[in-house]
């Protein structure tokens, strides 16, 4: 995978601006949507990033963590669905497959996945990766990698 786009120094007060920029980059790489793996340590800001992207993609509802629900589906103003998954509690590929994770990957729109490596064999080969790193003073670094 190669780095396609990177943004450093993302602070809470600039989060929406950075998310709008990232949403445009994602649309440029995958105009009809796709799977985006969110890589980052616990507390790096994966759900916060999806919440900010939700506003940029026009999600109509409040975005919340799917840790216990596994999957949250959101409608958008433009009709393109956004799926937010958190596989942290998944025990492996068999459990993820039984939960229908692969079906979400193959569906329309955008699918943002936290802890996707817990079921790495189910990921589509063209999945994008967004690395989220916590920096000094609460800043974040986002790095988008494309296959």
pLDDT at 137: 86
Whether pTM > 0.75 for this model: the answer is yes
Cα 138 to the center of its chain, rounded Å = 20
Task: Kindly report the backbone phi and psi dihedral angles of residue 101, in degrees, each rounded to the nearest multiple of 5, phi listed first.
Answer: -60, -45
pLDDT single digits (tens) 60-70: 899 999 988 99
pLDDT at 8 over 90: yes
Q: What is the pLDDT of residues 34-66, one digit of tens each?
A: 999 999 999 999 999 999 999 999 998 999 999
Residue-range domain boundaries for the chain? 15-146
Mean confidence (pLDDT) of the chain: 95
pLDDT at 86 over 90: yes
Instruction: Find where tokens 């396609």 sit.
Output: 4
- CATH fold of the domain at 15-146: Rossmann fold (3.40.50)
């Amino acid at each position: 995978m190669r780095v396609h786009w990177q943004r450093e120094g993302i602070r809470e007060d600039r989060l929406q601006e950075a998310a709008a920029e990232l949403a445009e980059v994602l649309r440029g790489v995958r105009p009809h949507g796709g799977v985006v793996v969110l890589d980052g340590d616990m507390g790096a800001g994966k759900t916060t990033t999806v919440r900010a992207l939700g506003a940029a993609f026009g999600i109509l509802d409040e975005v919340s963590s799917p840790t216990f629900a596994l999957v949250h589906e959101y409608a958008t103003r433009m009709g393109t669905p956004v799926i937010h998954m958190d596989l942290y509690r998944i025990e492996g590929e068999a459990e993820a497959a039984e939960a229908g994770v692969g079906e979400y990957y193959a569906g329309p729109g955008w699918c943002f996945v936290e802890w996707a490596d817990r079921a790495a064999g189910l990921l589509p080969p063209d999945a994008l990766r967004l690395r989220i790193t916590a920096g000094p003073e609460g800043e974040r670094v986002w790095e988008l990698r494309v296959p």
